[in-house]
Amino acid sequence: MPGMRSRSARAAALLTVAIFAGTLTGLPAQALDGEAATSGASTFTAKIDIGGVRACSGTLINNQWMITAASCFVDDPAQATSLVTGAPKLKSTATIGRTDLTTTTGQVREITQLIPRTDRDLVLAKLAAPVYGLTFLHPATAAPAAGEALKGAGYGRTKDTWVPDSLHTGTFMVGAVEAITVGIDGTPICKGDTGAPVFRETNGRPELAAVASTSWQGGCLGSDETRTGATASRVDDIRPWITENTASTLNVWNLQMLTKTTTGLYHAMRNSNGDWTGFGNVQNAAGPIQDIEFAADAAIKGKNYVFAVGGNGHLYQANRRSTGGWEAFRDLTAELGDKPGLTRVAVTSTGTGLALVGLAGGRVYHAIQDPSEVWTKWGDVSAKLGVLGNPTQVTVAHTSGGQTQVGVAADGKAYHGIRESDGTWGDHWGSVSGLKTELTAKVNGMSFASVAGNLQIVLTAVDGNKKHAIRTADGAWSSFGDLGDELGRDTIVGVDATAVNGEFQAAVVTSDGKIKHTLRHADGKWDATEQVVGYPGNPETVALTGSTV
């Protein structure tokens, strides 16, 4: 760090400072000596109280795990690597998402388990119960680089306040990058900031680069030190360790995401702890399709069925096995029948097979795949329910009672039709737009998902508005709620939704080329919006399904 002594002297001095950076008797201290965080910003940051005698900061990395400094939980903070796995010695609580500590926003959880690293000042902390509606940070995939600008947020003291009542943020410049640590300088890191997140923004999404460990505390109240440098523990090199050690809160369900971008068709998975795999190239694994126009997917018993509409108007199907291997794309034209002008498809699991709907030549079609994977020919839904003007989007879900629910966006409005379990269709399309959606602009997207046997729906409009509602098995609709807080106000070009382990998950593709994702838990609480990253090219469509792989 600038102006510091030799490495050995520097290490000894910083180790001494560590005793004070995370330790405070009496009332806990609170934030980085930077700017007060705006309401709702950096809600992944936690204020940690260790037995009422010490205060630190931490980072929420999924709904039930945080990461912070191990030195916060040992008697002698200079002996951070002496921390053992298990419950904290002193009762410890985390207040997460409370930017202003004088309010009751955010959530408070007891810390029940600690899993420390043995090579650096770092520990995973399990919360007694999940927290919902708050942003969490994914660990970075790339190491900090010398000269890189990073940000931080913490609940330590400032230059003029011993016990602040708000979260503060700051900026840093990366100095020396070591095997397990990184040197940072800039905004002073004060008492109570040990364990605070040091993060960067990648493609508009914040990611955790390091965790604050030791500092000189220059510029902090009560310190005569002039040096402002600090060290932080890297996290980019231990992502597998984090995933492995937070697996106790995983369930068997994954979200599978398929996106067509300007460079191809890509697939990724998100587990129940919020960790994403990388996006793999589907055409490299399952064979090339010329000029893919649209893609959809569904899953049965861990097997993912991927459908792609080629530039020739043919529909292709590939299967991703539960073991991860792919069966090659095959042309379904001979099995389903030729449908010139096919532009859109949607597919859902029926429990034993698949229900497929498509748009071709201004008409809606439907087909079924039985448990032995044999397809029926396309059936003409428009002949049953009526021809809609200029249909542009189609969606499908299979709900309780064996009903297949089909949705169509046409002429800027949303329509809904039902196929009963005996194969009969209703008399006509119902107008979803005729319900009290409070959408004043034309509908440009819609998606259905069957959650606990009920139909859940997302509608999007050309002005960026997004709405959500539930249709219960008796045909009653709930009020349409605003999804602006969950999925933003951006204009969208693609939307899809699915059920994953009894939860509703939705994703949109924005007009400026981003994929945003959220989920609604069974109790009706929503998670904060997450921007998905890692796909090559600019996304144009998104498709979701849930599976037990």
How far CA 168 is from CA of 70, 204, 221, in Å, comes to: 22, 21, 15
Q: Which residues of the chain have pLDDT under 70?
A: 1-40
Give the pLDDT score at 38.
62
Note the pLDDT of residue 40.
66
For residue 8, report the phi and psi dihedrals to the nearest 5 degrees: -65, -45
Which residues make Cβ contacts (< 8 Å) with residue 378, sequence separation at least 6? 336, 337, 339, 358, 365, 366, 367
Q: How far apart are CA 150 and CA 122, in angstroms?
A: 19
All domains in the chain, ordered by first residue: 7-245 (2.40.10.120), 250-547 (2.120.10.80)
**pLDDT for the residue 366:** 98
Tokens 């939307």 identify what position?
495
DSSP 311: T
- The per-residue pLDDT for range 97-155, each reduced to its tens digit, is 999 999 999 999 999 999 999 999 999 999 999 999 999 999 999 999 999 999 999 99
pTM of the model: 0.90
Q: So what's the pLDDT on residue 32? A: 56
- What would the pLDDT profile of 207-233 be if each residue is shown by its tens digit? 999 999 999 988 898 888 888 899 999
Residue pair 50/93 in contact (Cβ under 8 Å)? The answer is no
pLDDT score of 12: 32
